[in-house]
Structure 1
Amino acid sequence: MHELGVVIKVVKTVENFAKKNGITKIDTLVLQIGEISSIIPKYIEACYPAAVDGTLLQDTKLKIELLPGNGRCHKCYKEFNLIQCRNQCPDCGSHDLEVLSGREFLIKEIIAC
Structure 2
Amino acid sequence: MHEVGVMIEVVKTVENFAKENGLTKIDKLVIQIGELSSMIPRYLEACYPAAVEGTLLQETELKIDILPGNAICKKCNKVFNLIENNNKCPKCGGREWEILCGKEFMIKEIVAC
Does the alignment reach a TM-score above 0.5? yes
Following superposition, the deviation at residue 93 of structure 1 comes to: 1.0
TM-score normalised according to structure 1 size: 0.98
Secondary structure of the equivalent of 2:63? Answer: strand
Match runs of 1:72-91 below 5 Å: 72-91=72-91
1:99 matched residue in structure 2: 99
Match runs of 1:65-76 below 5 Å: 65-76=65-76
Q: Work out the CA distance in 2 between the residues paired with 1:77 and 1:57.
A: 44
Unaligned 5+ runs, structure 2 = none
Match runs of 1:1-113 below 5 Å: 1-113=1-113
Unaligned 5+ runs, structure 1 = none
TM-score normalised according to structure 2 size: 0.98
Number of residue pairs the alignment of both structures matches: 113
Q: Deviations over 1:35-84 (max 9, x none)?
A: 11000000000000000000010000000011010000011000000001
Q: Sequence identity, in percent?
A: 69
Instruction: Give 2:39's aligned amino acid.
Output: I
